[in-house]
Amino acid sequence: MSNSIHTTGDLAVSVQHLGLTYTTTIDRRPTLKSRLKSMGRGTKQTRVVRALDDVMLDVHYGSVLGVVGSNGAGKSTLMRVISGILPPSQGKVEVFGKVSTLLALGVGFSPSLSGRENVQLGGLAAGMTRREIEDHFDEIAEFAELGDAIDAPMRTYSSGMYARLAFSVAVTVKPDILIVDEALSTGDAKFKEKSLNKIKELRSDSRALILVSHALGTITDICNEVVWLDKGKLIQRGNPDEVVDAYAKFLHVGKSAAINEDV
């Protein structure tokens, strides 16, 4: 919980010629024909996915950047690289500040530990002191609306409970740079609204927010710039109306229909 030294216009994240390639080894069950052909030489195949291709992006303090694009466009991969979870294959990423990441479900918490223990560990990992965690624990637990479940192992949590706690920790840390990757779509309507208000509250000259969402209405509502990714490439960057409009056209739906979708 640093006293931020950043002000509007300062560079928060610099992404230069970023490329990321996933290489996965697939174990194909061999057919008789392929086995004869390969003469027992093994049938491992590699699947190579170019998830990010020469992406250039600057994010400045004071801005709320929306990220849109179809499934598989590379949005989550870009967030993982900015968060330092994945190293780039090409190019580089520089981050000037403390990042707190709220990725799509499945990252960060240990299922065998209770919510309380995960908050303590997560807070320490995010750079909070034990004292700060203690001071903020009630605030985190209350925002997450978990009640007694805060002391139950997280493997017993529903995805909504999991997401509420993750969101609560990420925003309480008061990061310099907050990345929210589709996590807003997991809660019920009431929690969604509460989280959106929290994000609006976190908008500040000394903070940069990056928001990945399919809810184009939310994007145009709270972002001041938007980037559109497709097949690993940055297609367009600009003001929210302009980019969302172009993306919605690309999706072959009217803008109003896209804005009303709530996913």
Distance CA 54, CA 235 (A): 11
Q: What is the closest distance, in whole angstroms, from the C-beta atom of residue 73 to ligand ADP in the complex?
A: 4
Which of 62/69 has CB closer to Mg ion? 69
Distance CA 182, CA 52 (A): 19
Q: Of residues 76, 83, 100, 213, which one binds Mg ion by CB under 5 A? A: 76
Tokens standing for residue 107: 């990252």
Which of 75/255 has CB closer to Mg ion? 75
Which residue reads 């027992």 in tokens?
A: 40
Q: Of residues 13, 53, 64, 77, which one binds ligand ADP by CB under 6 A? A: 77
Name residues whose C-beta falls within 8 Å of residue 36's C-beta, 6 or more positions apart in sequence. Answer: none
Name residues whose C-beta falls within 8 Å of residue 154's C-beta, 6 or more positions apart in sequence. Answer: 109, 110, 111, 112, 113, 114, 115, 118, 162, 165
Residue 49 interacting with ligand ADP (CB under 6 A):
yes
Q: How many residues bind ligand ADP (CB under 6 A)?
A: 12
Residue 72: name its binding partner from Mg ion, ligand ADP, none (Cβ under 5 to 8 Å by kind): ligand ADP
Among positive and negative, which fits the CA dihedral 69, 73, 78, 80? positive
Q: Which stretch binds ligand ADP (CB under 6 A): 67-75, 138-146, 234-242, 255-263?
A: 67-75
Contacts (CB under 6 A) with ligand ADP, residues 3-42: 22, 24
Residue 75 interacting with ligand ADP (CB under 6 A):
yes
Task: Write out the residues near ligand ADP by the rule CB under 6 A.
Answer: 22, 24, 49, 51, 69, 71-77
